[in-house]
A and B are shown apart, each in its own frame.
Chain A
Amino acid sequence: GAVVSQHPSRVICKSGTSVKIECRSLDFQATTMFWYRQFPKQSLMLMATSNEGSKATYEQGVEKDKFLINHASLTLSTLTVTSAHPEDSSFYICSARDPASGGAWDTQYFGPGTRLTVL
């Protein structure tokens, strides 16, 4: 099946620094990618929808100036957590829709996730 990669898989940083996470679709072109965050023992929460060539759409309560999303190509979306704080520590997962199926039954493929720890 389709593969989505994420890099880095794990990052530990000091409070106040910025962290960039990359999400790549390896064998298909994804016009839309999604960024999720998952806190321990909780479900995935959609943060934003990343659209190639246009601005990302953020969910309510997600600060667009703090979580910068760039979808520069059909295979790459990046999420930058700016001025990270300990409360931003979480598991960040991206996904990409494989448009091969078409419509609402498109399969979403998830990246392996990035575990961010902010000290």
Chain B
Amino acid sequence: RKEVEQDPGPFNVPEGATVAFNCTYSNSASQSFFWYRQDCRKEPKLLMSVYSSGNEDGRFTAQLNRASQYISLLIRDSKLSDSATYLCVVNRNTGGFKTIFGAGTRLFVKA
């Protein structure tokens, strides 16, 4: 079992739709949590950090449930430009700082 699991998708949605991505992590020592976006053949770019209190940035809302080791990302009013792979990322500092990437969820937003 992978340490960070995501639904690989792909998710195919029309413009304007709301789409939700889920992620689970298995190491309870995980300390910090992020969503990154990766466009085809490009490097990952930070989308947002994920806090237990939840956080929102425009159309994007991220939630963290430490008890169930679950992270989510909600995208409202999807745009064509949202098409990308969304990576769930977890940091832990057991035996040295380490960043663990989920395999990513592919999103296609269509007109």
Contacts and interface: CB of A to CB of B under 8 A. Distances in A.
Contacts of B43: 93, 110-113
Contact of A32 (B44, B49, B97, B101): B97
B49 A42 contact: no
Interface in A69-119: 91, 93, 95, 97, 103-113, 115
Contacts of B98: 46, 49
A104 B32 contact: yes
B42 A112 contact: yes
A34 interface: yes
Interface residues of B, number: 22
A interface SS class: strand
A18 interface: no
20 contacts: A32-B97, A42-B103, A43-B102, A44-B87, A46-B98, A46-B99, A49-B97, A93-B43, A93-B44, A104-B31, A104-B91, A105-B49, A105-B91, A108-B46, A108-B99, A109-B46, A110-B43, A110-B45, A112-B42, A115-B41
Interface of A: 32, 34, 42-46, 49, 57, 91, 93, 95, 97, 103-113, 115
